[in-house]
Amino acid sequence: MIKSIYDFNCSKFESSDHNSSSSVLSQLMKDSFATEFNGSSATINNLAELFTQHLAYESKSASQPFVDRCLQMYEVTQVKMGCIVMGDAQTAKTTLVETVAGGLNIASRNELRIRIAQVRKEKLKYALS
């Protein structure tokens, strides 16, 4: 069921059906994501922290519902090759995309720092032996 929800495409609906279908799907997705993302998974917690850090860097408030939306978008991008974010003006579409990208960039930089530290540690260990 959830996989078919991920495949939801607004363009397949007539405009008169869009409001009712999006209302039903948002309720379905909200429940499924709530159980999935409120767990204690280290990866999800780390991603949420990275998204919060990026929002703080951009001097934007990091509400829990917005961080949850970032996690949802991240999950969709992991399942799909791409996605289109649609919505009315001033509904944080760009902020959502920038937050996910910024959080993942922070993760990449942190991973690079860890790898550099490991190489330095190995070189130092080799030099001392």
Domain ranges in the chain? 39-128
**Total-model pTM:** 0.59
Give dist(CA 72, CA 78) in Å, integer: 10
**CB-based contact 48:69 (threshold 8 Å):** no
Which amino acid belongs to residue 26?
A: S
State pLDDT tens for residues 81-128.
778 888 888 888 899 999 999 999 998 888 899 999 999 999 998 888
The stretches of the chain forming alpha helices (DSSP H) are 2-6, 15-37, 42-57, 64-79, 93-128
- Exposed, middle or buried by CB within 10 Å (0-12, 13-18, 19+), for 54? buried
- Exposed, middle or buried by CB within 10 Å (0-12, 13-18, 19+), for 104? middle
Q: Whole-number mean pLDDT of the chain?
A: 76
What 3-state class would DSSP assign to 56?
helix
**CB-based contact 7:80 (threshold 8 Å):** no
> pLDDT band at residue 20, thresholds of 50, 70 and 90?
low
Give dist(CA 8, CA 30) in Å, integer: 14
**CB-based contact 5:28 (threshold 8 Å):** yes
